[in-house]
Amino acid sequence: MKLAYYPGCVSLSTGKEMDVSTRAVCAALGIELEELSDWNCCGATHVSNELVATGLSARNMAQTELPIMTPCSICYSNLRSAVRRLEDGEVRERVNAVLEKKYSGAAIRHALDVILESLEKKDERIVLPLKEMKVAAYYGCLLTRPVGQYSPQFPTILEELIKRLEAEPVELRHKTSCCGGPIFMPREDAADDIAFAILAEAKEAGAEVIVTVCPLCHLMLDAKQKALEDKKGQKIGIPVLYVTQLVGIALGLSPEELGLEMNSVSPMAMVERAYERMAARS
Amino acid sequence: MSTATAAKDVEFKQEVLRLAGPEMLTCIQCGTCSASCPTAHLMNPSIRKLVKLCLEGRKEEALHNETLWLCTSCLLCTVRCPRGIRPKAVVSALKDIAERESVRGRDASYEEFFLKQIKNYGRIAELPLTAEFLLVYPQAAVQSMQMGLELISKGKIGARVDRIEGRDEVKRIVEKLRE
């Protein structure tokens, strides 16, 4: 399978491990990725004018004929929203008037869905089944909203993938709640309260790891975890992995290939536990 | 209210409807949007009331409030609204109008710098964006410092700004499509 790959701006900075692990897992699963040429920012959640946001996504989508895959839920949500708006002939005409390559339709996929589709049940490439591992599935907002492939409030695809890796999904009441990320710069206190509620719930539910599909969720729950612990006076200490990192661990890829050293809360103890549990079973 | 003000307010209402969609007119003020909002407890007016202010053409109150900047764009209001209204699009419309009319404040500045970076470079580089914001609002630095240092220690944020080839095209998208 060959797909166009849209890494998104975060892949070059705070989400490097998302990009690294996406490329590594796709390579291991035989999914060929061709990076979109000269891609631009999708506007994230900060471009208020919808036509401008649509134009930014349309320019990206016009670069390829292949289906486009992104590992970032924000990019994914923006691309899918743009596809829907561009179904309107008037919008398409206005947007195409300013584009060099014209938009003529696109198929948008999230890495999560591509990877799940590529993994068979009991897939022999899963060399480290994550049995007994309690994994909290945290979707955040934009994988499923406004027009994802999944239920906007009660999705299950992440749990399906967790089970395919033979791990145990931990259900969070907050699983599709917002992480607060989009307002964390100008409104830090409000964002902190929201993010901490998710971490505290995962802790109480006994999660050994939280899995995310969005670099902003990851930033709030991982890079900010220590600051949140200090601020709230409660230890959390739960590693937060991109879904591609979790899959990569189960596929037996190395920590370097998955960028695990770039995670703020180290997942190494959790990885070792997975190997110990496998050794104990055999 | 003078006739001139009233006329302008009608214009404002029409502009919000144009940007956020005419389905706003069908709002029944049920409050599902407010009940779904992760920052509702901090908002005044609530998101429900914000929609009402727009429909009543109360421009000043609709544009000058904290509510717009507390929206996290999570879209839960939008998927839950029983009338198919998109309350987050109402917020976006108001932000767009506020930005065009040069309403100032820390949040408006952040959005402005973000769009400026897209327009100039085609992509976002977090460090220069953050630096520009902190120059205007240095008080935010104290809060952000711990995470910033953490990210720098992991080699995840650098000063490098990626410039794409199609910068002129992106600039055209930002300028022409906003008209």
Statement to judge: residues B61 and B79 lie in one domain: yes
Is there a single domain that holds both residue B14 and residue B83? yes
Residues B136 and B51 in one domain: no
Is beta strand A134-137 parallel, antiparallel or unpaired with respect to A168-170? parallel
Assess whether pLDDT exceeds 60 at residue B2: no
Chain B residues in contact with A99 (beta carbon < 8 A): 169, 173
CATH of the domain at B16: 1.10.1060.10
| Residue ending a domain, choose from B44, B74, B100 | B100
User: Of B77, B100, B123, which residue constitutes the final position of a domain?
Assistant: B100
- pLDDT interval class at B143 (50, 70, 90): low
A122-281 topology per CATH: Rossmann fold (3.40.50)
SS3 at position B83: coil
Instruction: Give the nearest partner residue to A223 out of B111, B150, B177, using CB atoms.
Output: B150
Question: What is d(CA A270, CA A238) in angstroms, rounded to the nearest whole number?
Answer: 9
B168 and B111 within one domain: yes
CA–CA separation, A44 vs A53, rounded Å? 9
Q: Quick one: pLDDT at residue B129?
A: 82
Average pLDDT taken over every residue of chain A: 96
Give the residue from chain B lying closest to A145, CA to CA.
B75
Quote the minimal CA–CA distance from B2 to chain A in Å: 31
Tell me if B178 and A51 make a contact (CB, 8 A cut-off). yes
CB distance A53 to A82 below 8 Å: yes
* Interface with chain A: mutation pick from B39, B68, B73, B165, highest number of A CBs within 10 Å: B73
CA nearest B179: which of A39, A62, A98, A87? A98
Same domain, B124 and B69: no
**Interface test with chain A among B43, B65, B147, B178, by most A beta carbons within 10 Å:** B147
In a shared domain, residues B93 and B149:
no
**Would you kindly state where each structural domain of chain A is located, as residue ranges?**
2-111, 122-281
Q: Which of A74, A55, A86 is nearest to A8 (CA)?
A: A74
Is A239 in the B-facing interface, judged by CB distances under 8 Å? no
> For chain B, how many structural domains are there in total?
2
CA distances from A272 to A133, A255, A269 (A): 12, 11, 5
Distance in Å, alpha carbon of A193 to nearest chain B alpha carbon: 10
Domain final residue, candidates B60, B79, B100:
B100
Q: CB distance B72–A94 less than 8 Å?
A: no
Both B110 and B59 in one domain: the answer is no
- The alpha-carbon radius of gyration of chain A (Å, integer) is 19
User: Chain B neighbours among A 185-224 (CB < 8 Å)?
Assistant: 185-188, 190-191, 194, 219, 223-224
Nearest-by-Cβ selection for A188 from B122, B143, B155: B143
CB of B173 closer than 8 Å to CB of A52: yes
B96 and B110 fall within a common domain? no
- pLDDT tens for residues B93-122? 999 999 888 777 777 778 888 999 999 999
The DSSP annotation for A166-198 comes to T-EEE--TTTTS--SGGGTTTTHHHHHHHHHHH
Tell me how far apart the alpha carbons of residues A67 and A87 are, in angstroms, rounded to a whole number.
Answer: 17
- pLDDT band for position B4 (cuts 50, 70, 90): low
In which domain, by residue range, is B83 found?
A: 3-100
Amino acid letter for position B140 = A
ipTM of the assembly? 0.93
pLDDT one-digit tens code per residue, B16-65: 999 999 999 999 999 999 999 999 999 999 999 999 999 999 999 999 99
Q: How many residues does chain A have?
A: 282
Residue B3: predicted pLDDT? 62
For residue A46, what is the nearest residue in chain B, using CA coordinates? B111
**Class assignment of domain A2-111?**
mainly alpha
For A69-119, what is each residue's pLDDT tens digit? 999 999 999 999 999 999 999 999 999 999 999 999 999 999 999 999 999
